[in-house]
Structure 1
Amino acid sequence: MHPMLNIAVRAARQAGNLIARNIGQQDNFEITTKNKDDLVTSIDKQCEKVIVDTLMKSYRDHSFLTEEAGLLGNPDSEYQWVIDPIDGTTNFVQGISHCAVSIALRHNGKTEIGVVFDPVLNEMFTASRGEGAYLNSRRIRVSNRDSLDGAIIGTAFPTRYRDRMSAYLVLFSRLISNCADVRRMGSASLDLCYVACGRFDGYLEQGLKAWDFAAGELILREAGGITTDFAGEEGYVKSGNLVSGNPAMLRCLLKVCEAQTLPAILK
């Protein structure tokens, strides 16, 4: 295993232990509301500190982009760790066993390492650029489904952009009319990993932040998937608007996204 990946896995497991011990135990932690749809707990902050401290022991000169603390470390470093200590905080608070630690490493802007750890199921998704994607050390691949017939698609509603909801509901209606079913799970990093290992056939979501998708997107890519924005371009890195799947499924999803819904969704 790549040394940096090995340390990221160690950091993810340490944070995951905190999540597993506290999930749903609201008497054990403080909860703060950042926005109507966005919670942070004292466990998020503890997990983040554990991750950053573990990584800093080996890579003190790197920079760290974290969901809760923002930018830490050396801002001029070629290396940047992108960290979401609990992706799916609302699930964690409510005791819904679908949340994850997400850690990615970027070198000069390119994601080189991705780790997504589900501590409840003890599932560790990992990838290094050019070396494939793995679930608990077993190689994974995206599904080979080539149409929406029978497909299971992961998504989420644009709660950060509620003015776009009516347009997104048109898209959702079109999607559900053409596929087998849709899942809204509440953890973007795990959604991407579920596409990577073939549990989902595709995934689309709007308004994500870098820490939501950096690790999962690399894992999906190393599993044979592709990610674009809703227009089929590479702007998702800045916009956080993601559509993912194998090449054939991506084309199907982009076709669903086009026409009259696209301008309203991306306004």
Structure 2
Amino acid sequence: MADVTDNLIDLCGRLRDAVLPALGTHAARAHTGVAVGGDITFGIDEQAEALLAQHMRERLPGWAFYSEDGGLHGAREPEYVLIVDPIDGTRPAAAGFESACVSIAAVPASEAPTMGDVVAGVVQEIKSGALFVAERGAGFSMRRADGPAIPFRPTPREDVESMFWSLGFRGRPAVILARVLEELIDASSVGGSVFDIGSAAYGVTRILTGQLDAYVDIGPAIIAAHPWAEAEFRRVGRGAVLCNSPYDVAATYLLCR
């Protein structure tokens, strides 16, 4: 399993190196297409996806990978399938903010892998280089780019009024989302705080560092409870429902197990 994890760390590092110089540039914000999941592909996404395809072809030809923009590619009978978001937090990355990560998870190849099949997950902050690594059955580690460990400091906070938490408005109808979360937002916005930081991987890993208490994506639950709302999600998402997908949270799921 260590070899699998090492491969994920190597790929994370290469993707980070490829996009780091583009953070905050105007070229990073250019719209270059539409991803498989329906989101806009930005210039910085295209750069990362090209490096991902090259890396897999040259270094891991016996594996397959699924990415946000490119879908499923690689070996026809792979040993492992990687679930990759080369830039989780494309919009913060394009703006030059720190809340953007590379997120990669590995699952043994099967007909229908689930979250429970993830055997390794790696998240790396693009701007700082901080690395979060998890192996199933072997725990997890967090370290800064220069080597020192990042302390595991989950908050002991239990009251909603002082909660620091994150949500995401991208692709979600603002009025519907705010209406559902109204009481939680109002209760915590003064004694605590609510943030839209633009990256699920960054938000969830902040729970491990103690910077945030929770990450909330209630979009799928809204649609499940109120099917009529799907039309509004598709309106805002330009035809697609843009809630979090496995490539957004597969690695962080293992980190938090």
Both structures adopt the same fold (TM-score exceeding 0.5): yes
Q: Percent identity of the aligned residues?
A: 24
- TM-score, length of structure 1 as denominator length: 0.72
- TM-score, length of structure 2 as denominator length: 0.74
Q: Compared with structure 1, are the counterparts of its residues 94 and 128 closer, same or farther at alpha carbon in structure 2 (3 Å cutoff)?
A: same
Please tell me the residue identity of whatever aligns with 1:104.
Answer: A
| Unpaired runs of at least 5, structure 1 | 222-267
SS at match of 1:160: coil
| Residue 135 in structure 1 maps to residue 142 in structure 2 | yes
Q: Which residue of 2 aligns with 1:24?
A: 24
Q: Compared with structure 1, are the counterparts of its residues 138 and 93 closer, same or farther at alpha carbon in structure 2 (3 Å cutoff)?
A: closer
SS at match of 2:203: helix
| Residue 2 in structure 1 maps to residue 2 in structure 2 | yes
More strand by share: 1
Matches within 5 A, 1:1-267: 2-27=2-27, 30-32=30-32, 34=34, 38-77=39-78, 79-107=80-108, 108=110, 109=113, 110-136=117-143, 137-138=149-150, 140=152, 142-157=154-169, 159-162=170-173, 165-179=174-188, 180-205=192-217, 206=219, 207-221=243-257
Shift in Å, 1:149? 3.8
Pairwise CA RMSD of aligned residues? 2.5
Equivalent pair of 1:101/1:117 in contact (CA under 8 Å): yes
Equivalent pair of 1:133/1:141 in contact (CA under 8 Å): no
Q: Compared with structure 1, are the counterparts of its residues 78 and 17 closer, same or farther at alpha carbon in structure 2 (3 Å cutoff)?
A: closer
Shift in Å, 1:103? 0.8
Equivalent pair of 1:48/1:83 in contact (CA under 8 Å): no
Distance in 1 of aligned mates of 2:128 and 2:206: 13
Distance in 1 of aligned mates of 2:76 and 2:161: 47
Q: Deviations over 1:118-138 (max 9, x none)?
A: 121221111111222221155
Q: Compared with structure 1, are the counterparts of its residues 176 and 22 closer, same or farther at alpha carbon in structure 2 (3 Å cutoff)?
A: same
Shift in Å, 1:192? 1.2
Equivalent pair of 1:141/1:198 in contact (CA under 8 Å): yes
Please tell me the residue identity of whatever aligns with 1:16.
Answer: R
The more displaced of 85-94 and 23-32 is 23-32
Shift in Å, 1:96? 2.4
Task: Tell which has more relative contact order, 1 or 2 (C-alpha 8 A, sep 6+).
Answer: 2
Q: Compared with structure 1, are the counterparts of its residues 98 and 28 closer, same or farther at alpha carbon in structure 2 (3 Å cutoff)?
A: closer
Distance in 2 of aligned mates of 1:130 and 1:168: 37
When the two structures are aligned, how many residues end up with a matched partner? 217
Q: Compared with structure 1, are the counterparts of its residues 141 and 80 closer, same or farther at alpha carbon in structure 2 (3 Å cutoff)?
A: farther
Distance in 2 of aligned mates of 1:80 and 1:167: 36
Please tell me the residue identity of whatever aligns with 1:201.
Answer: D
